[in-house]
Amino acid sequence: MMADMTETPHPLYDRHADTLNRALTAITERGYWSAYPESPSPRVYGETAAADGKAAFEAYLGGDFPLDQPGTGDRVATEASPFGVELAVRYPHAGTDELVTAAIAALPAWRDAGPQARVGVCLEILDRLHKHIFELANAVQFTSGQAFVMAFQAGGAHALDRALEALAYAYAEMTRHPGTAGWEKAAGKGDPLRMSKTFHVVPRGVALVIGCNTFPTWNSYPGLFASLVTGNPVIVKPHPRAVLPLAITVKYAREVLAEAGFDPNLIMLAAEAPGEKLASDLALHRSVKIVDFTGSTEYGDWLETHARQAAVYTEKAGLNTVVIDSTDDFAGMCRNLGFTLTLYSGQMCTTSQNILIPAAGIETDQGHKSFDEVAGGIAAAVGKLTADPARGVELTGAIVNDGVLERLAEVTKVGEPVLESRAVAHPAYADAVVRTPTIVKLAADDAETYGREWFGPISFAIATDSTAHSLELLRRTVGEKGALTAGVYSTDESVLDATEAVAVGVGVHLSCNLTGGVFVNQSAAFSDFHGSGANPAANSALTDGAYVANRFRIVQSRRHV
């Protein structure tokens, strides 16, 4: 790894160099590593950390969020908690030109600081956020509907890991070349030609991050930190129903930037008033050169088509699919899939929707199982996980928005239910909206139904003619609509190989024979890539070299020696 030799070491770089070097090793080895403990245990974080974090979260409720940035004269409050908790946090509201003008003014000094200084400051921001992880987790929980432990892990520790992974890839790309070089070329009998060359890492310009409701930090942090560390000021536009987690992020990031001597307007919050369409206005601004978006296919396609002045990174919808051919652990398969469908009520972009099962059934360690027995086994596993409301809600969380409820109502009109969704009373939050998963039987020719995404706790057990037919459906549906995950269960190596060939062909990440504590809808930073950029569900992968390298350019200057 070549460092930029024109730089003077920065104190924050020196402070966090060990973390950065370990992350650089992790992205090359792709084994297990995590910089931020995922257990909220007091043995890990201290006896008062949980209470302190919750108190910090509650202090924001019903008040003006403490953020000194352009646009503090006007305030907006748009959040509604899926748990029924009154949030009523008022955020500073700024216009597009205000934000972009302030961002542009902040860029030159940040650009000129160089990669080491920028990565040091960004690592310090992650460290500051980690110190406030319980505050962050509560904000994620009560805006997204995730249960607390999931919010702590996915919204806190894992989001920080993904951010660190993006920083490592970005630093590797920025320092791939030397900062300066001497050049000498023979020139016949005369003196050789000699030049001194300097290579500058130059940011693209203002970056925009458009957050989602379900995973406001996990999905936003990779793009946010990839853009910031490569020299681009970042405007963070949260989903109107999940502003607080990203407001907290911006707050602590601005504190660190100011302490380090940089303009805090390198990162700003763009809270949106109802019906304002602020994201679209920002995305089309001529000075916005990078856009990161997670959300619907319709809006992602719109951004890719219309934000032509920017590099646009999108993660959209897809048809995540599982092929079941056979298994040597029927109970383990059902438990694993049952957990996958139950976790956060299926409100994950990686949760399986279409489960392809031969109509004639499959071979298992318990003997032959019919199609109905396979579907019923998965349904029974879901039922067991959600039978006790007190335990079940710690997996399901709450329903994030009315669109999910509308799809749950709509799906009752198609197919034949194997497991019906039911409302559950949350033992701690009386107004929480909780629904258990539903599983519906369909025929292979019901493509009009299973060929669209049904985001939420909705899955289809689809009867196919054979495993070969299942693979053909996998190829066609994912090829046309995309997917972030695929799974297969088989005791036949040739089937596993054939499924992997299909997955490679349509660019979807594949998991084989998951029966234990690893689930198809979860991915590990530094080891698993999230999305591939190779099918319609996403045009990029979190977080490979391609994800970061297009956020800056190399500009050189050369002089005769």
Predicted confidence (pLDDT) per residue in 100-157, tens digit: 999 999 999 999 999 999 999 999 999 999 999 999 999 999 999 999 999 999 999 9
pLDDT tens digits, residue range 538-549?
Answer: 999 999 999 999
Q: Which pLDDT does position 73 carry in this prediction? A: 76
Nearest-angstrom CA–CA distance, 13 and 230? 15
In this structure, what token pair is assigned to residue 344? 């956060």
Report whether pLDDT(202) > 60. yes
The residues, any chain, with a CB within 8 Å of residue 354's CB and separated by 6 or more, are: 319, 320, 321, 322, 450, 459, 460, 462, 473, 477
pLDDT tens digits, residue range 365-376?
Answer: 999 999 999 999
Report whether pLDDT(9) > 80. no
Nearest-angstrom CA–CA distance, 282 and 442? 43
Q: Are strands 438-443 and 416-419 parallel, antiparallel or unpaired?
A: antiparallel
Q: Is the dihedral of CA 444, 445, 451, 455 positive or negative?
A: negative
Distances (CA, A) of 74 to 172, 263, 301, 534: 41, 22, 32, 42
pLDDT tens digits, residue range 466-479?
Answer: 999 999 999 999 99
Query: Would you place residue 3 in the very low, low, confident or very high pLDDT band (cuts 50, 70, 90)?
Result: very low
Place of tokens 């039922």: 383
Strand order in the sheet with 311-315: 267-269, 234-237, 206-210, 288-294, 311-315
Secondary structure of residue 292 in the 3-state scheme = strand
Q: Which pLDDT does position 7 carry in this prediction? A: 58
pLDDT tens digits, residue range 218-263?
Answer: 999 999 999 999 999 999 999 999 999 999 999 999 999 999 999 9
**Percentage of residues in the chain having pLDDT higher than 70:** 98
Report whether pLDDT(531) > 90. yes
Q: Are strands 206-210 and 288-294 parallel, antiparallel or unpaired?
A: parallel
- Provide the mean pLDDT of the chain: 96
Q: Which pLDDT does position 522 carry in this prediction? A: 95
Query: Would you place residue 2 in the very low, low, confident or very high pLDDT band (cuts 50, 70, 90)?
Result: very low
Report whether pLDDT(21) > 70. yes
Nearest-angstrom CA–CA distance, 367 and 217? 45
pLDDT tens digits, residue range 301-350?
Answer: 999 999 999 999 999 999 999 999 999 999 999 999 999 999 999 999 99
> Percent helix, strand and coil across the chain, each rounded to 5?
45, 20, 40
Mean pLDDT computed over 479-503 = 98
Closest to 449 in 3D by CA, of 415, 402, 486: 415
Report whether pLDDT(5) > 50. no
Burial of 34 from C-beta contacts in 10 A (0-12 / 13-18 / 19+): middle
| Residue-range domains of the chain with CATH | 36-176+194-317+543-560 (3.40.605.10), 321-512 (3.40.309.10)
pTM score, whole prediction:
0.96
